[in-house]
Structure 1
Amino acid sequence: MRALHPSSWWDCFLASDPDLSRLKMGLRALLGLGLTLAALAGLSPLAHQPMSLGMVGMMVGMMTSVSVQDPLPRQERLTLLCVPGVAAVAVCLGAFCAPNLVVSSLVFLGVIFLAVAARRFGPRGTALGTIAFMTFFFSLFVHASPAQLPWMLASVGIGSMVAYGVRAWVVPERAFASLRRTLRVYRRSIRLLLAELAQVLQAPGGRFPEKQIRRAFRRVNEGAMEIEQHLERVPQEHLPPGLSKEEVRGHLLEMELCAERLASAVYQGLHQNSLAPAERQELRARMTALWHERRGPRPFPAGTGAEPLPFQEPSACAAKIQRALGKLREVLALPLLPPPGTSRLPAIAAVEPPPEAAAPPAQPPALHAATRQAIQATVAGGLAMIAGHALSSTRWYWAVVASFVVFNRASTRGDILLRAWHRALGTVVGVLAGLLLATVVSGHRDLEIALLFACAFLGFYLLRLSYAWMVFWFTTLLVLLYSLTGRYSPDLLYLRLWETLAGAGIGAVVAGVLLPSRTRVRVWQNAAEVLRGVASSLDVVAVPPGPANGRILVERVRRIDSKLREVRESARPLIDRVFFVGQDTRRLVHALASIAFFVRHLEPPGASPSGEEDALRKAAARLAEKARLLASTLEDGGLALPPGLDDSPLAPLEGEARNLPPLELLLRRIDAALMELHDLVRGLPGHPGPRPAPIPSVPSR
C-alpha cells in the first residue's frame, strides 16, 4: 500500500513545505529568541540590570526574524534597518507613559491605530506596525521607567542586530536555491499524484473517491503557482546563461498540464466505468512503476507508458490514459531546468483581446481598507481595555492583545471571525495542555527551558498551516515561562483564558457591526476577475491565427490561476466547517475551478480555414461575452442577470453523434460550467430567481 511506503511519507512531508519556508520561519524565531537571550544573559550581570527588562529585546529578536516578509532581499534589509528606530520610539513612549494608567491607555490606542493603518504600505508597514505594537505592550508589561531606558534600548539594539544576522546570514533567503528546490519537490508531488491515481484504480467494487482526485488537481496547480512566485524573485542574471524565465514557465506549465490530463483521463474512465478490471490493473502497475523512478532522466523501462497496452483492443479510455502517462513520462525525464531554446509550448496567436466597453468610473471607497481596519482595531482595543480591567486590574493587556491580533492579516468580516475563533480555540486547548505539562515538568529546569524553545519553534513552524496551532504552542510556552519564573498557578491560566475570550469576542463583534467589509462581496469581486480572465483566454481562441507566441499561453493561464487562488482565500471563512455556512460559496468555487481547468487546456484552432473552425471561433467569442456578463453581474452585487445567457453558443454545431474535436469538447464543457454558474447566481441571496439544483462537487472531465 502507498500509505505504508516510507518514500510516500517522505514525499508528503516535502510537499507540505517545498521551499522550507515554514522550517526557516521556525528556525529564525528559535535563533532570534535564543541568541538574544544568550547575549542579554551575558550582559545583564555586567550592566547590573534584571533580565526581565530584556524581554523587550528578546521579543524584538524573535518577532523581527519572522515578521519581515518583503519579497526582495534589498527591501528586506531596508525593513530590518528600520526596526531599531521604530522599536526604540515605542519603548520610550511606553516607559514615559507607564506610570499613568489613563495616559498609557490613550497612547496605547494611538499605537494600535497607527500599527494597523501602516498596513497600507505593504509588507514593510505590516511588519513595523506589529513590532511597534509589541514593543509598546512589553514596555507596559514590565512597568518600565525612564531610568531603565538605556538598558531596554540596548536590549532592543541587540535583538535587532541578532534578527538582522539571522535573516541575512544564518537563515537567509536564496531565491535561485529555493526555485530549484521547489521544482525538485514539484516533481515529487507529481510522482505522488501517480501513487494516488494508482491507489484510486485499485479501489474495490468500482469505488471512486472524487475528493481525492479533486485534491490532487488542486495540489498540482498550487505547487505550480508557488514556483511562479519563487521565479519572480530570481534575478535574470542568476539563471543559467541563455535560459529565460519564460522558458522555465513553459517547462513548468507543460509538467502541470501533462499531470492534469492524466488525472482527468483517470477521472473520466472511472466516472464512466469504462475501464475493464484487467486494464485498471495494468495501468495501476505502470503508474506504480513510474512513481518508483526517483532520479533523473533514464531510458524508458517496460510498463511505464512507452509501450502499448498488452490487449488486443484496449478501450478508448485506457488508450487515452496510456498516452497521457507516456507524455508525462517524457516530461519528467527532462532536466530540472530546461536547456535554453527547448520550449515546447503550443503556438498561440499573439493578438490583443478586443477592447471592452467603457464602464463608468468606479467611486473610490470612502476609507482605505487599512484605515477602516485601524478604526475597528482601535475601538475593539478600547472596549477590550474596559473588559480586561473588569476581569483583572493587572492582566488586562491580555484582552487588548487578543483583540489586536484578530485583525492581523485579515481583511473581511469573515476573516476576522475565523481568526477570533482560532484564537479562542488555540487558547482553550493550550491552557488545558499547559496545566498538564506544568504538572509533569515542574521543577526540571533544563527540561522546561528546552520545551520553551521547542514551543517557540513549533508555534511559528505551524503558523502557516493554522493560526490556532500557533496560539496553542504560545499558550503552552507562556505556561512554561511562568513555571520557570515561579509565578505559575492554575488561577493565572484561567484568567488568561477569560481575558483572551473577552478580547477575541470583542474584536469579532466590532468587525461585524462597525464599518464591516462583507466576505461574500469580496468573493464575488474576485470571482468576477476570474471570469474576465476566462473571457480574455476565449478571445485568443476566437480571433484568426496570427504570429505565434507561446508566452501568451503561460500568461493567460497564470492570470486565471492567481485570481482563482484569491477566490479560494477570500472564500475560506465562508466554507469553513466551523460555521456551517457557505454551500453556495463552495459551489461557486467549484464551478470557477472547473472553468479554469478547462480553459487551461484550450488551444486555438488551426490556421487552415474551414466552416467548422469559423463556427468554433464564433462560439468562443459568444462564450467570452457570456463570461463578461456574468462577471459584471457578480461585481455589481445586485445579481440582476442580463437576458440571453440561457442560450448555448454551441447549439448551431449540434448534429448527429460523432467524435468531437478537442477544442469543441472543451468549449462545450466551459459552456456547461458557465451555465451552472449562471444558475447558481440566480439562486444567490439578493436575486429573486428559483434556487438551482446542486452542482456536482467535481465536474465531468
Structure 2
Amino acid sequence: MLKRMFAAPDPGRTRLRFAARAVLGIGLAVVVCGLAGHSLVGAVTGGLAALLALFTVTDTTVRGQALTTALLPAVGLPVLAAAAQLHDHPVARGLTFLAVVGAGVYARRWGPRGHSLGVFAFMTFFVAQFLHATPGQLPELYAAVLLSVLCAAAVRFGLWCYERRLPPAPVVAPPDGAGLARVTTRQAIQATAGAAFALVVGQLVSEERWYWAVGATWWIFVNTTSRGETLVRGFRRLLGTVIGIGLGLLVAVPLQGAAVPSVVLAAVCVFGIFYTAAVSYTWMMLCVTLLAELLYGLLGVLEPALLALRLAETGVGALGALLAVLFVLPVTTHTITDAWIRRALRSVHACTAEAAARLAGDPAADPARRVAELEQLLGRVRLSVAPLVHPLNPLLSRKSRARRVSALLDECAREIRGLVAVAADPEASHDARLAAACWRVQAAVEALTGDGADRTPEPAPSQAAAEPAALAHLHGLERALAELAAPLRTPAGSSLVNT
C-alpha cells in the first residue's frame, strides 16, 4: 500500500498542487473565521465548508467550477438551518437526514454540479450533528460558511488557479437508463435504505454519535456505481478507519487537544486527504479519521472509548451499505463493467479518428481532448473491475481475465498517447496507409462492442522497419485490440464478468 501511494504517477504534479492549495485555502478560511471573532465551533464549521468547496467541485471548466462554488451556500445554509432546528426532535431529524441522503445521491444524474451540491448538502447536515449545532448558533455558522466559501474561492480562482493552464478533463457520467433502470435512481434508493438501517442501528449503539454510521454509509456510495465497487469501497473504508484509529491512539489521544500540534497535524491530514484521494481510498480514510480525532481533541471530548465507538459506528454504516447493494435494486458488476469497457473502446476509436484527421491537416481536430476523455473512462474501468481483481476474490479465472483486459486497455492508451504526440508535431505528414489502419481500428472496435459485424478483430500487419511513427502506433493499437477479443469473450460470446 505504501509503495502504491508514493510510486503513483502525478503528471504535472497535479495532486501535489491540489493538496497544497487545499491547505492554503482551508487555513485561510480558519484564520479569517478567527479574526471575525468566531468561536471554535464556528472555525471548525468554516474549515470543513472550505474543505468541501475545494474537494467536491469538479466541473470541467473554471467558469463552471465558480458557478458551482457560488451555489454551495444556497444548498448548504437551508440544510444547516433544518439540522439545527430539528436538533431536539430525533424522529423529524432522522427523516430529514434520510431525505437529504436520497436527494443528494439522486442529484448525480445532473452531472458534476449535482454531485457537488448533493455532497455539500449531506455534509452540512452531518457537520451540524458533529458539532451539535443549535438554533442560537445559526447566525455565527451562516457567517462561517459564507466567509469560508469565499476564502476557498479566492484561493481557487484567484491566488492559485492552475486549472487555467490545463485542458479541461470531461467528467464521465455513469451508464444510464430510464426509470428504475437509471443508475442514479437505483443508487438513491439504495443509499436511503442503507442510511435508514445505519441510523436505526447506529442509535442503538450510541444515541449521541449515531450520525457516524450514516456518514459511513453515505461515503461508501460516493463515486461508486455497481454492487462490487460499493463492497470494495466499504472494505477499504473500514480498513482505513481501523488504521486511522490505531494511529490516533498513538498521536491524537496523547496530545489531549494541545492547540499548536493539533492544528499542525490537522493541516498534514488535510494535505493527505487531497493528495491520496485519487490514488487510495484507504489512505484517504486514514487521514479523514485522524483529522476527526484531532478535531475532537480540540473540542475536548477525545478519549479511547470514543475511538472504539467510531469503529463500531463505521462497521454499522458499512453493513448498511452492504445490505442495501445486495438486496435493494442491485446494480450488478458485469453490467457496469461491460458498459464502461464499451465506452472506453469507442473512445479509443474517436481518439484514433481525431488524430488521423489532425495528421491529414484538419486544424479543427483536437485529439488532446479526446485523450483526456479516454483517461477518464479508463479510470472508471479500473474502478469497475476493482472487485474482480481484489485479493479476496476467489474466482481466479475471472480475476485473470479482468487483469488482462485492464492491461490491454492501458496498452491501447499508451499507443493513443504516442499517436497524439506525433499528430501534434507540425512537421508530421499524412501517410496513405493511415486511412487503412484507422479503418481497421474502427472495425476492431465495432467487433468488440457489437456495433458492427460479430467477428474477431484481425491481427495488425507486422511492423516495417521504416514505417512512420504514427503508423507504428496504429499497428500497436490494432494488436492490442486483437488481443482483447479473447479475454472479453467466452466461446458463448458472453461478457468479461458474466461467465
Deviation at 1:93, TM superposition (A): 0.7
SS of the residue 1:393 aligns to:
coil
Confirm whether residue 432 of structure 1 aligns to residue 246 of structure 2.
Answer: yes
SS of the residue 2:450 aligns to:
helix
Q: Report Cα offsets for 1:123-159 as digits up to 9, x if no partner.
A: 2222221111111122233333333322222222222
Confirm whether residue 422 of structure 1 aligns to residue 248 of structure 2.
Answer: no
Confirm whether residue 30 of structure 1 aligns to residue 23 of structure 2.
Answer: yes
Relative distance call for 1:43 and 1:376 in structure 2 (3 A) is: same
Alignment of 1:49-64 (within 5 A): 51-52=40-41, 55-64=44-53
Relative distance call for 1:571 and 1:43 in structure 2 (3 A) is: same
Q: Which residue of 2 aligns with 1:485?
A: 299
Relative distance call for 1:150 and 1:631 in structure 2 (3 A) is: same
Relative distance call for 1:536 and 1:81 in structure 2 (3 A) is: closer
Q: Which residue of 2 aligns with 1:333?
A: none
Deviation at 1:507, TM superposition (A): 1.1
**Which among 652, 667, 683 is matched to residue 490 of structure 2?**
683
Deviation at 1:427, TM superposition (A): 0.4
Larger proportion of helix: 2
Relative distance call for 1:41 and 1:418 in structure 2 (3 A) is: same
For residue 28 of structure 2, what is the amino acid of its counterpart? L
Deviation at 1:43, TM superposition (A): 4.2
Relative distance call for 1:426 and 1:661 in structure 2 (3 A) is: same
Q: Report Cα offsets for 1:370-406 as digits up to 9, x if no partner.
A: 2222111111110101120121111111000000011
Confirm whether residue 629 of structure 1 aligns to residue 443 of structure 2.
Answer: no
Relative distance call for 1:587 and 1:551 in structure 2 (3 A) is: farther
Q: Which residue of 2 aligns with 1:583?
A: 400
SS of the residue 1:35 aligns to:
helix
For residue 72 of structure 1, what is the amino acid of its counterpart? T
Q: Distance in 1 between matches of 2:218 and 2:242?
A: 18
Q: Distance in 2 between matches of 1:442 and 1:531?
A: 54
Alignment of 1:95-134 (within 5 A): 95-134=84-123
Confirm whether residue 149 of structure 1 aligns to residue 138 of structure 2.
Answer: yes
Q: Which residue of 2 aligns with 1:412?
A: 226
Deviation at 1:672, TM superposition (A): 5.6
Contact 1:402 1:504 in 2 (8 A): yes
Q: Distance in 2 between matches of 1:374 and 1:170?
A: 37
Deviation at 1:487, TM superposition (A): 1.9
Q: Report Cα offsets for 1:391-429 as digits up to 9, x if no partner.
A: 111111100000001111222223222221221111000
Identity of aligned residues (%): 31
Q: Distance in 1 between matches of 2:354 and 2:162?
A: 38
**Which among 473, 496, 504 is matched to residue 287 of structure 2?**
473
Q: Distance in 2 between matches of 1:409 and 1:118?
A: 13
Relative distance call for 1:605 and 1:407 in structure 2 (3 A) is: same
Q: Distance in 1 between matches of 2:79 and 2:310?
A: 25
Q: Distance in 2 between matches of 1:455 and 1:412?
A: 29
Alignment of 1:373-412 (within 5 A): 373-412=187-226
Relative distance call for 1:519 and 1:550 in structure 2 (3 A) is: farther
Q: Distance in 2 between matches of 1:500 and 1:16?
A: 31
* Structure 1: runs of 5 or more not aligned: 1-11, 180-227, 234-361, 608-612, 636-640, 693-701
Deviation at 1:459, TM superposition (A): 2.3
For residue 434 of structure 1, what is the amino acid of its counterpart? G
Relative distance call for 1:452 and 1:523 in structure 2 (3 A) is: same
Q: Distance in 2 between matches of 1:460 and 1:539?
A: 36
Q: Which residue of 2 aligns with 1:21?
A: 14
Q: Which residue of 1 aligns with 2:335?
A: 521
* Structure 2: runs of 5 or more not aligned: 424-428
Relative distance call for 1:575 and 1:168 in structure 2 (3 A) is: same
Contact 1:56 1:156 in 2 (8 A): yes
Relative distance call for 1:384 and 1:669 in structure 2 (3 A) is: same
Q: Distance in 2 between matches of 1:72 and 1:79?
A: 11
Contact 1:31 1:62 in 2 (8 A): no
Per mean C-alpha deviation after superposition, the further-off stretch among 415-424 and 566-575 is: 566-575
Relative distance call for 1:58 and 1:363 in structure 2 (3 A) is: closer
SS of the residue 1:459 aligns to:
helix
Q: Distance in 1 between matches of 2:281 and 2:239?
A: 10
Deviation at 1:482, TM superposition (A): 2.8
Is the radius of gyration larger for structure 1 or structure 2?
A: 1
Q: How many residues align?
A: 474
TM-score normalized by the length of structure 2: 0.79
For residue 23 of structure 2, what is the amino acid of its counterpart? L
Deviation at 1:71, TM superposition (A): 2.7
Q: Distance in 2 between matches of 1:674 and 1:421?
A: 33
**Which among 127, 130, 135 is matched to residue 138 of structure 1?**
127
Deviation at 1:476, TM superposition (A): 1.5
Deviation at 1:686, TM superposition (A): 7.3
For residue 522 of structure 1, what is the amino acid of its counterpart? I
**Which among 351, 359, 369 is matched to residue 183 of structure 2?**
369
Q: Distance in 1 between matches of 2:177 and 2:123?
A: 36
Deviation at 1:173, TM superposition (A): 3.4
